[in-house]
Amino acid sequence: MRPEILFPLFASLDALKGVGPKLAPELERLAGPLVRDLLFLAPAGLKRRTRATVAKAQEGVLQTFVVRIDAHAPPHRRDYPYRIRVADETGFMFLSWFKGYGPHLAKSHPIGAMRVVSGEVRRVGVEASIAHPDYLAPAEAADSVPELEPIYPATVQTSSRQVRRFVQAALERAPELPEWQDAAFLARQGWPRWREALARLHAPESEADLEPQSPARARLAYDELLAHQLALQARRSRVRAEPAPAIPASDLSARIEAALPYRLTGAQARALADIRTDLASGQRMQRLVQGDVGSGKTVVAMLAMADVAAAGAQSALMAPTEILARQHYETLAAPLAAAGVTAILLTGRDKGAARTERLAALASGAAQVAIGTHALFQDEIVFRDLALAIIDEQHRFGVAERARLQAKGPSAHLLSLSATPIPRTLELTQFGDLDISRLNEKPPGRKPVSTAALPTTRIEAVIARLRQATAEGAQAFWICPLVAESERLDVADAESRAASLRERLGPRVGLVHGRLQPAEKDAVMAAFAEGRLDVLVATTVVEVGVNVANATIMVIEHADRFGLAQLHQLRGRVGRGSAKSACLLLYEPPLSTSGQARLEVLRKTEDGFVIAERDLELRGGGDAVGLRQSGLPAYRLADPFVHRDLLLAAADDARLIAARDPELSSPRGQAVRVLRHLYDWTAKAEQLSG
């Protein structure tokens, strides 16, 4: 239940005087539907007005003058402005209005009246003027013209000043709230209390006050981050409180592990131990395993599935594409079968008797492991006892799809696998409700991929190198440039690149792109995987996770157009075998400084976690769009990059609160309740991580 003290802030916008059916939707677009939302609408800038005499009027500057009305000059032609001449003892200037201003100006500003006027000055020759003054009021009211004025976003119907008026009205409704921040922490940071922080947010006194690190903004950002972390925490403990089958580690799994041609890396062993602890707990697992391409997530998943099979239950592994599902099936079916575990493959393409038979095996429990695509959660698929749902490349699936798979086993444990390492800060905001294991160690024996950046002018040399390498039996990927927003152009580029490579290198050059039918795509990929093609030209559809151990060269055209994380992913396609691999990043000269910096990061490291951190740094907090696209919550004042230290502190704080006062019954706990309701993150958090 929402605490009563917050009621005035949860009123809809039209509760504010002057906000009617016309303005409400406009303001809502800017801020949100509630009075509360206006409070958090931060000014984006600051206007400064200086007092001046007419003689000191300055082009392009916001100035305020005290003047006498001298003369009215109504327009003598339609498209002329209405003008008023005004003067002080140093000279005269003009005020002008276009369109439809007339008699009322004459009436309200009679000749001889003293006025304060403020606006942006224009100067043409000696003549100074202000078009549509911001302020024109009796001189006695000169104090009502502010010297500093926050600038708010405006819309067609609302000016920044109107928005400001409503923000002020919202502020008047804001009560003093109990302090939810830790008193010592607050004092150490030197932050104001909530109400005061808001007042300062909306009354900046200098540019420094607009900075995200200013005490008022930092405090409000921290509130927001803390509220979000608390909501994620609560969600996590709610899910964890749901009962799920307790599955112990098994001999069966140990046998499969012992039969592997390699030993698990330390990171794999740790991830598996995390998973086993979760599975055995009797509480529902919600775990994400993050690890670079090639870090060996599949085998970890397989050993967990073996534990589930040993307990007499079923697992499902869902992959985003047909090719990947098939590849998983090919790697997993045999070792599982050797231990007596039956796996089936289920994709959209399986039809007829084979499909019926597989469905029956799932329904009866004859098959303990299902590997497949989206086909796994279609209505007619019934599991006898699904206890573990595994989602590979989880970011490729929507929340709804993940939920549908999990619904096949209402109390199934959930394991997500992701090959997109993300920085710790983003991890907290995106996956704060999941437990995370990181595979930050590669299987041994991998040779580093030597990475070089070359201008496109060197393309002939690259092709010559390819010719030599393929003659020696190597295989290569050639990634074609990303043409902004046009898949058609991407395809055209890839087609002509493939044609020109065939001319130079002979017929063993294949082409895949997003426009191919799935069956065609699979056929080309398969030909490449089986070594019947030397070079695979591709738009970026080269499937995440596809494993071709013999591919040792990756050429990326227009590498400067790809994001760092994407380049890293692409590079991850090579260097999977034990042979030495190379990645050639072609760029169109001249390369921008930021482009240079990004390619440099790639040349220096192959650690996806490091690259992700650097990527975030290089993009900075400025790339709000990119961050949004990566699924970040829409914070109002907090910026997970700029405020990353605060985010880490908020996550710790939320954990402490949950541990010390889970019922939120202490005085601070009571205040924290108010915070949680104020931000009302619950609904959003559910949408975010389903």
In sequence order, what E strands does 548-655 have?
Answer: 551-556, 581-587
Which one of 35, 226, 267, 299 is in contact with ligand ADP (CB under 6 A)? 299
> What's the rounded Cα separation, in Å, for the pair 91 and 55?
6
**Residue 443 is a binding residue for ligand ADP (CB under 6 A):** yes
419 part of the interface to ligand ADP, by CB under 6 A: yes
User: Of the candidates 262, 277, 354, 366, which one interacts with ligand ADP according to CB under 6 A?
Assistant: 262
In sequence order, which residues have a C-beta less than 8 Å from that of residue 118 and are 6 or more positions away?
Answer: 49, 62, 63, 64, 65, 130, 133, 134, 135, 136, 145
User: Is residue 569 close enough to count as binding ligand ADP by CB under 6 A?
Assistant: no
Site string for Mg ion, 487-526 (x = CB under 5 A): ----------------------------------------
Q: Which is nearer to Mg ion, 432 or 545 (CB)?
A: 545
**Counting contacts by CB under 6 A, is residue 347 touching ligand ADP?**
no
294 binds ligand ADP (CB under 6 A): yes
Smallest separation, CB 622 to ligand ADP (Å): 31
Angle between helices 667-679 and 681-689 (to 10 degrees): 70
User: Of 298, 368, 416, 470, which one interacts with ligand ADP (CB under 6 A)?
Assistant: 298
Residues within window 88-147 making contact with Mg ion, judged by CB under 5 A? none
Distance (Å) of CA 300 to CA 165, 254, 303, 556: 58, 12, 5, 31
Residue 48: strand pairing partners: 148
Please calculate the CA angle 17-19-24 and round it to the nearest 5 degrees: 150
CA 489 to chain CA centroid, Å, is: 27
Per rule CB under 6 A, count of chain residues that contact ligand ADP: 17
Residue/partner pairs of 136-142 with CB below 8 Å, 24 or more apart: 136/95, 136/109, 138/113, 138/114, 139/66, 139/114, 139/115, 141/116, 142/64, 142/66, 142/116
**Distance from C-alpha of 89 to C-alpha of 56, rounded to nearest angstrom:** 12
Interacting partner of 250 out of Mg ion, ligand ADP, none (Cβ under 5 to 8 A depending on kind): none
Q: Is 320 an interacting residue with respect to Mg ion (CB under 5 A)? A: no
Nearer Cβ to ligand ADP, position 96 or 418? 418
Which residues are registered as beta bridge partners of 243?
283
547 lines the binding site for ligand ADP (CB under 6 A): yes
- What, of Mg ion, ligand ADP, none, does residue 443 touch, CB below 5 to 8 Å by kind? ligand ADP
Nearer to ligand ADP, 421 or 510 (CB): 421
- Pick the closer one to Mg ion by CB: 150 or 545: 545
Choose the binding region for ligand ADP from 114-122, 152-160, 260-268, 632-640 (rule: CB under 6 A). 260-268
Q: Which does 293 bind (CB under 5 to 8 A by kind): ligand ADP, Mg ion, none?
A: ligand ADP
For residues 475 and 547, which CB has a smaller minimum distance to Mg ion in the complex?
A: 547
**H/E element, 224:** helix 215-240
Q: CA neighbours within 13 Å on the CB side: how many for 574?
A: 27
In the complex with ligand ADP, the residue whose CB is nearer, 230 or 422, is 422
335 belongs to the binding site for ligand ADP (CB under 6 A): no
Rounded to the nearest 10 degrees, the angle between the axes of helix 667-679 and helix 215-240 is 100
Residue 488's binding partner out of ligand ADP, Mg ion, none, with CB under 5 to 8 Å set by partner kind: none
The answer to whether the CB of 39 falls within 8 A of the CB of 199 is: no
User: What are the φ and ψ backbone dihedral angles of 509, each rounded to 5 degrees?
Assistant: -120, 120
Q: What is the DSSP letter of 480?
A: P
Binding test (CB under 5 A) with Mg ion, winner from 43, 409, 545, 608: 545
- According to DSSP, the residues that pair with 536 across neighbouring strands are 477, 510
Residue number with CB closer to Mg ion (26 or 543):
543
Q: Does 296 bind Mg ion (CB under 5 A)?
A: no
Q: Which stretch binds Mg ion (CB under 5 A): 70-78, 363-371, 544-552, 632-640?
A: 544-552
**Candidates 34-42, 260-268, 516-524, 543-551; binding stretch for Mg ion (CB under 5 A):** 543-551
Give the interface with Mg ion as residue ranges (CB under 5 A). Answer: 545
Give the interface with ligand ADP as residue ranges (CB under 6 A). Answer: 262-265, 268, 291, 293-299, 419, 443, 545, 547
